[in-house]
Structure 1
Amino acid sequence: MSITSSKIRSIPFFRLWAGNAGSGIATWALPFVLGFMVSNGDLTALELGIFLALRSAGFLTAVPVGGVMADSAGSRRVILIASLAAACGTLLLFLGLFANLPLRSTLAALGVILSGMGQGACRPAYQSIVPSVVSRDALQPANAALSLSVRATVLVGPATATLIASSWGPGAAILGIASLWMASALAPPWPHESVADAVADTGRVSLLGRFLHDLLDGYREARRHPWFFAGLAALSTVIATGYSVTAVLVPLISRDSHGDASLLTGSVTAYMSGALLGAIAASRWRPAKRGWWALLGLGTYGLVPLGLLAPVQFWIPITAYFLAGLGMELFNIVWFTAIQDEVARAKLARVSSLDFIISYGLAPLGLSAITPVTNILGTTTVLIATSIVCFGAALAANTIPTTAEFRARRR
């Protein structure tokens, strides 16, 4: 225990911890600030859905590029470039929302797209750099510590963001997000990294050809792990339905049931509190059937839409968010550790990028469809259906061989 602990208390890991915290908080904070603006009437729910969908589109565009580049050129270089791009995109969004400039809407749209691209390229790079900083036996405590850094800070984030937005306006909060992306660019260490071999006869292969070859090579590696696609299908379903519904509807439900952003703020705080507890538990708990427990945690997100059926009873949705945060954090830490532990090191970023591409691939469709679907079917029907889908996805994934342990049966 002491050896493992010392490996995640080193200066290189602390720098990685700080950079990851900056990127994670910045990723979370932007939807919250935009949701706060909806609650205050500064944005409409439709504009919020469009902005979130555009950011997701930018994310999906950059994820495969970031994965291929991280495996071939090094994860640290990708973190630097992607974080700077996200910072620039956040500044463009600020100008589009608050500066008296022509084509403000275009600037804002370009800003959220560029911000999403930076976020997308960062995600597989941050996942693939961890084994270069800590040893294999320290991966799960390291992932728990990385997640803990974000959750512990974001635990006080809603109140801080609300205070900043209320005192100095949401523009100040958005500028703070840009500074977090700068921290993500500069803080992490520059470890020695294993990179993938270059394609033979590169002079005769186009850039697109090399990119597709490398991407397909990552897909072939992922196919060696049946549990990966089973878990990924369940995760994608929860994100496309559960995450999309709550991201768009919670600001409106908060406004309609309480007249302010109190439910929005409380739900984020409760979710992060549960995630904080989940990260602490996952840092020490290593169950034999880690996949089974992880998928059980994933399925708890189905409690959130059920809790939102009774928003006036404040404690009901807050409790649901707390339990969902605990379960989702258990899933995330075990999931990332399994990928880092099982996947070949030189292909890790590409498999991680495949994870993010598929899991977030349906998010733009879900985000853009929520408002019209809710207008047709009603909020109650959408929330009940979303809950059923989240529970069912986790249960279905457990029927696939090798998911119980998130480990391929080989060797």
Structure 2
Amino acid sequence: MTPTIWRLLAGRTFAAFAGALIPTTLTLAVVRSGSAADLGVVLASELLPMLLLMPVAGVVADRFPARRVVLAADLVRAGAQVATGALLLSGPVRIPGLAALAAVTGAGVAFGNPSARTLVAAVVPAAGRLRANSRLGVATGTAQMAGPAAAGAMTLALGAGWSSLLTGTLFVASALTLGGLRTAPAPLARTRAGFTAELRAGWSETRRHPWFLANVLAHGVWHFAAGLLLTLGPLIAVESLGGAASWVIIAQVGTAGMLVGVWAAGRLPVRRPLYAVAAGASAQALPLAAFALRLPAGVTAGAFFAAMLGVGVLSPLWETEMQRRIPPETLGRVGSFDTLISFAARPLGLAVAAPLAGVTGTAAPLLAAAFLTAAANLSVLLLPDVRREPEREASVALR
């Protein structure tokens, strides 16, 4: 790997690890002296700015150099986390202050996410993007897996304030690492439309790619189903699969599957990436059905491994296909709609899972989600521009 790729990999890993520390730190800090309602307020305060600012952040990602936006977003998150640490170390937990700082963190996430995607396209040549995205997936996936355990250990041993200070330090490391990346020279300046016009143009560009819009909506179904699974799966594991330990084992098996998938994605001879993306996303139906039918723990763990293997394969392929098919000058805006749907759908699934199960039981919503996930993601293969390969067709036409 080149020094630039190493630097990109290190910076994204720092940011992923820092982001994975936050939910566990806040949860342990609030539940010790607050209530479930207080925790909901704090977590919602981080989520809402993400959702509201994501389209705006897409315009910013296309207007300004990606490394500068990522630098600013990481420094904002670093400042919010250092302030959170100071607040937690200064005395009793104060929910309004934590909620306000969580909102600042959410804004930083909103602006950092689209620009991190465009940064890969700006730094990595097209031929090396799949391998780079695969390596990024392994590194960030490992960091996200280790983050909750590290946050829990540090919070229990030293206190939540020190965990937040560590998080802020990691965001500073990410800012210094990614902010100094050398990118390709910017194109010649052009006359820009107003902000609102560029926002509308981003949506128009999104609608110009039916393959993208169909996949994003199908992925939204999958993320909604994942929210159901993450709520109802542990309950079913405790009731029918051998207790809480069985859920921990199943979750870890799934994490291993994801890491294997992202490692393999850059090495598999995939000729039609969007076919593999559809297959990987539709595989999420397997654990949904396994939990709904209360199959043995070993079978359910195997289903979860297969599903997360699919996630691992599809993630780098999807990122690379977006970077290949969408013009770089609109990638931030178009990609922000992808992130927006994902961020919104999973919390919705988490929120409605318990009420649905209270009315229908656990099996019905999980089986319905399994069917809809498979149907939505496989149906995108019916679209002509999913089946065609623009670059390959263009090269054939030139012969």
TM-score higher than 0.5? yes
| Residue identity matched to 1:88 | G
Partner of 1:377: 360
Partner of 2:397: none
**Superposition CA RMSD, Å:** 3.5
Structure 1 residue 159 displacement after superposition: 4.6
Residue 27 (str. 1) matches residue 11 (str. 2): no
Structure 1 residue 391 displacement after superposition: 1.8
Partner of 2:131: 141
Partner of 2:104: 114
Which is further off, 93-102 or 326-335? 93-102
Residue 152 (str. 1) matches residue 152 (str. 2): no
Structure 1 residue 371 displacement after superposition: 3.6
User: Measured at CA, do residues 155 and 343 of structure 1 come closer, stay the same or move farther in structure 2, by a change above 3 Å?
Assistant: same
Separation in structure 1 between the aligned mates of residue 261 and residue 306 of structure 2, nearest angstrom: 9
- Indicate if the aligned counterparts of 2:357 and 2:365 stay in contact, CA closer than 8 A: yes
Which residue among 297, 318, 321 is the counterpart of 2:301? 318
Which is further off, 73-82 or 320-329? 320-329
Separation in structure 2 between the aligned mates of residue 130 and residue 233 of structure 1, nearest angstrom: 24
- Indicate if the aligned counterparts of 1:71 and 1:350 stay in contact, CA closer than 8 A: yes
User: Measured at CA, do residues 237 and 138 of structure 1 come closer, stay the same or move farther in structure 2, by a change above 3 Å?
Assistant: same
- The number of aligned residues is 393
Which residue among 177, 190, 195 is the counterpart of 1:211? 195
| Residue identity matched to 2:214 | A
Residue 355 (str. 1) matches residue 345 (str. 2): no
Residue deviations 1:187-232, cap 9 Å, x none? 1133235657777487xxxxxxx22111222223333322111111
Structure 1 residue 72 displacement after superposition: 1.2
- Indicate if the aligned counterparts of 2:154 and 2:162 stay in contact, CA closer than 8 A: yes
Percent identity, aligned pairs only?
27
* Equivalent residues in 2 for 1:95-134, closer than 5 Å: 100-101=91-92, 104-134=94-124
Residue deviations 1:10-44, cap 9 Å, x none? 11221111111122233344345567789x98776
| Residue identity matched to 1:190 | L
| Residue identity matched to 2:219 | L
Separation in structure 2 between the aligned mates of residue 168 and residue 37 of structure 1, nearest angstrom: 12
User: Measured at CA, do residues 277 and 243 of structure 1 come closer, stay the same or move farther in structure 2, by a change above 3 Å?
Assistant: same
Partner of 1:396: 379
Separation in structure 2 between the aligned mates of residue 305 and residue 250 of structure 1, nearest angstrom: 8
- Indicate if the aligned counterparts of 1:144 and 1:282 stay in contact, CA closer than 8 A: yes
Separation in structure 2 between the aligned mates of residue 389 and residue 199 of structure 1, nearest angstrom: 44
Residue 235 (str. 1) matches residue 219 (str. 2): yes
Partner of 1:192: 183
- Indicate if the aligned counterparts of 1:308 and 1:383 stay in contact, CA closer than 8 A: yes
| Residue identity matched to 1:292 | Y
- Where 1:190 maps in the other structure, the secondary structure is coil
Which is further off, 183-192 or 156-165? 156-165
Which residue among 144, 153, 173 is the counterpart of 1:183? 173
Normalising by the residue count of structure 2, what TM-score does the alignment of the two structures yield?
Answer: 0.83
User: Measured at CA, do residues 155 and 367 of structure 1 come closer, stay the same or move farther in structure 2, by a change above 3 Å?
Assistant: closer
| Residue identity matched to 1:77 | R
Residue 88 (str. 1) matches residue 79 (str. 2): yes
Residue 15 (str. 1) matches residue 7 (str. 2): yes
Separation in structure 2 between the aligned mates of residue 124 and residue 250 of structure 1, nearest angstrom: 31
Separation in structure 2 between the aligned mates of residue 233 and residue 138 of structure 1, nearest angstrom: 28
Which is further off, 272-281 or 259-268? 259-268
Structure 1 residue 350 displacement after superposition: 1.4
Normalising by the residue count of structure 1, what TM-score does the alignment of the two structures yield?
Answer: 0.81
Partner of 1:303: 286
- Indicate if the aligned counterparts of 1:297 and 1:324 stay in contact, CA closer than 8 A: yes
Separation in structure 2 between the aligned mates of residue 83 and residue 365 of structure 1, nearest angstrom: 27
User: Measured at CA, do residues 197 and 144 of structure 1 come closer, stay the same or move farther in structure 2, by a change above 3 Å?
Assistant: same
Separation in structure 1 between the aligned mates of residue 28 and residue 92 of structure 2, nearest angstrom: 23
| Residue identity matched to 2:311 | M
Separation in structure 2 between the aligned mates of residue 98 and residue 282 of structure 1, nearest angstrom: 43
